[in-house]
Amino acid sequence: MIAIIDYGAGNIKSLQFAFDKIGLETCVTSDKKTIEASDAIVLPGVGAFNDAMRALESHDLLSVLKQEASSGKPLLGICLGMQLLYDQSFEDGEWNGLGLLQGKVQRISSSVKVPHMGWNTLTNHQETPIINQIENDSYVYFVHSYYVAELGTSTLVSSCNYGGQVPAIVQQDNVVGMQFHPEKSGQAGIQLLKNFGEMIT
């Protein structure tokens, strides 16, 4: 069972539907015991970084997310959820994230229209099971104004080009991030969710 974290910051219904479509059982929860008992965790998110971190803190979820990630449980952060995995964000101030991955979240270059909204293509940088059957130039759907910068190159799986290189899929061991919305990204997105499901042992 995959625990989709409910902290009031995500379009969870469409994500649940996508997992249902590929036969992966989910539950939407903010209960620590349920999260601990799950086989994998998905951290969704839309909105502002600091608001999301405060919401996680108010639900007393920061420690359980860190604990479960450090135990080796598969964890997928989607959109803002991916950004929350990192050390720090400079969105409307300077805020600390979960610190599960090294990097900083910054605003997309003003040389392009912000927010970055719509379909863009992936460039794959390494072969890893999370992108099985995902070809270079696969289209996925983005909605965001901030992106991860200064990340470790060994964690960069795929990127897109939008005012520069934007990390699109990252992975460090059991922790995976997708800056786009796989649940809104057609067959490529469904395949990526399947691949995440394959990480569950």
**Is residue 80 within a helix (H) or strand (E), and if so which, with residue range?**
helix 80-84
Catalytic residue among 68, 144, 160, 183: 183
Catalytic residue among 27, 57, 79, 125: 79
Active-site residue flag, 27: no
Alpha helices in the chain (DSSP H): 12-21, 32-37, 49-58, 62-70, 80-84, 186-197
Cα distance between residue 89 and residue 54, in whole Å? 13
**By the 8 A CB rule, do 158 and 96 touch?**
no
Catalytic residue among 57, 116, 181, 198: 181
Task: State yes or no: cis peptide before 129, omega within 30 of 0.
Answer: no
Active-site residue flag, 116: no
Cα distance between residue 95 and residue 85, in whole Å? 12
Active-site residue flag, 79: yes
Cα distance between residue 173 and residue 49, in whole Å? 24
Burial of 114: CB neighbours in 10 Å, binned 0-12, 13-18, 19+: middle
β-pair partners for 176: 76, 171
Active site residues: 79, 181, 183
